[in-house]
Structure 1
Amino acid sequence: MTLDGAFRVALPVAEAFRLFTARGEREWVDGWEPVFPEPVDDDAAAGTVFRTDHGGQDVTWVVVDRDGDRRIRYARVAAGRDAGTVEVRLAPAGPHTEVAVTYRVTALTPSGVEWFRDFTAGYPDMMRSWEAAIDRVVAARGRAAPLS
């Protein structure tokens, strides 16, 4: 199944991109703490592997590919539940950035099917919560520019 969502952040693309890397998400995702099995300098380099235990679910992530600061795609496997990819695309919109997020997910088990139903139902709210959390980070930096 494929889920698409989009929102805008009050940062230029280069600054917004960092917020969608393994380390950068720590700034706005409560409880997000990526663990790298090997030290990495660039957590957005293709081939980078990290793990998270976000919300009690063990997930292994791999950076599949990246196009500068405009796009990053991750493969992710939630042990015993689901597997797929997450792609984040960023496009300039004046001083802001339009963010498009696509999840392509396959359930691996019956519990994965149930999880995916819930995930699908909550996806629009999740996108709004991402936007709000990033807005709070930007405002705390004193960099907020009006989005309208």
Structure 2
Amino acid sequence: MEFQGIQVSRTYQQLNLAAPEAVFPLLCPVREKDWLDGWDYTMIHSVSGLIEEGCIFSTPHHGQQDTIWYVTVYDKINFKIEFVRVTPEEEVVRINIRLNGREDGTTTSRISYEYTALNEQKNKWLKTKFEDRFRESMIWWEKAINHYLRTGEMLKK
């Protein structure tokens, strides 16, 4: 029987404690080192040295191969960004982030993930563990970025 990867999508909405102009620049592999404990990356291609459309970078992964990230949308005027990340032989993930300013000077960040499994083990993970892990990850991310926005310091795990 031929393999069929399942696809699962989830969206999480964060409240960030600053305006989009302050939050958006932090959604960059270079800047994430300032506020996201444990984050590491290797820049593969960037004209500016920071995130931009067409930027490609990698991150270490628990498996044999690194995860490759490609920035498909980077709209700093409308505060929209989209990544496609591939972990070979494991998963393809599309991440879409849209920031909206609020009247009180904070930001609503809508973060959508679409996972596609590339093997049976990842199919099983998506069916059994993804929901809890996704929520845990989004809650930690929200807590970490808000701590940085308030204090200018990284929140340690």
Q: Give the TM-score range, shorter chain.
A: 0.7 to 0.9
Q: Is the 8 A contact 2:46 2:54 kept in 1?
A: no
CA distance in 1, matches of 2:86, 2:139: 24
User: 1:64: which partner in 2?
Assistant: 72
User: 1:146: which partner in 2?
Assistant: none
Q: Quick one: which of 7, 17, 25 aligns to 2:14?
A: 7
What is the CA RMSD across the aligned residues, in angstroms? Answer: 1.8
Q: Is the 8 A contact 2:46 2:52 kept in 1?
A: no
Gaps of 5+ in 2: 1-7
CA-to-aligned-CA distance 1:86-135 (integer Å, 9 cap, x gap): 01110001211110100011100012213324222222222211111112
Q: Is the 8 A contact 1:5 1:127 kept in 2?
A: yes
CA distance in 2, matches of 1:41, 1:64: 16
Question: Which residue identity does 1:67 align to in structure 2?
Answer: D
Q: Which structure has the larger Rg?
A: 2
CA distance in 2, matches of 1:126, 1:81: 19
Residue 39 of structure 1, CA deviation: 5.2
TM-score in terms of structure 2 length: 0.81
| Identity within the alignment, % | 23
1:103 aligns with 2:113: yes
Q: Is the 8 A contact 1:80 1:112 kept in 2?
A: no
User: 1:145: which partner in 2?
Assistant: none
Matches within 5 A, 1:1-148: 1-38=8-45, 40-54=47-61, 56-57=62-63, 58-69=66-77, 70-94=79-103, 95-117=105-127, 118-141=129-152
Which runs of 4 or more aligned residues in structure 1 lie more than 6 Å from their structure 2 counterparts after TM superposition? none
